Amino acid sequence: MKDKRDYTLEQEQIARYAKALGHPARICILNFLASQDNCFFGDIHEVLPIAKATVSQHLSELKDAGLIKGEIESPKVRYCIDKENWEIAKQLMNKLFNSINPKEMCC
């Protein structure tokens, strides 16, 4: 019987980024943040048609994945895209998409 392989660190990173990108609200948040130098929670909440608690959950997912940063500026939290991690995510996703050639697939 063949041993199961552990996932590589790269595969785990790609999956973490993909999960964080897996909701339209998070894409909207990223698009909004990309158009700003930084912004506060209230600014983000105003552009999304969802409850504040839900916006917080989406921000948390993006932050946990490392795609955004949040800094407390009491009493508010300021958010921006984490440029270093964004570049890593972009490189990993490009590598993944470039490594799979649909022309070579059997179906």
Confirm whether 102 is domain-assigned.
no
**Which pLDDT belongs to residue 106?**
65
Q: Cα(first)–Cα(last) distance of the chain, in Å?
A: 28
**Which pLDDT belongs to residue 91?**
97
Confirm whether 1 is domain-assigned.
no
Q: Please state the domain count of the chain.
A: 1
**Which pLDDT belongs to residue 61?**
97
Which pTM was predicted? 0.85
Q: Please, what's the largest Cα pairwise distance for the chain?
A: 58
Task: List the strands of the sheet with 76-81, edge to edge.
Answer: 39-40, 76-81, 68-73
Confirm whether 46 is domain-assigned.
yes
**Which pLDDT belongs to residue 34?**
93
- pLDDT value at 1 more than 60: no
- pLDDT value at 103 more than 80: no
Q: What is the CATH number of the domain that holds 34?
A: 1.10.10.10
**Which pLDDT belongs to residue 105?**
63
Q: pLDDT digits over 78-102, tens only?
A: 999 999 999 999 999 999 999 888 7
Q: pLDDT digits over 27-75, tens only?
A: 999 999 999 888 899 889 888 889 999 999 999 999 999 999 999 888 8
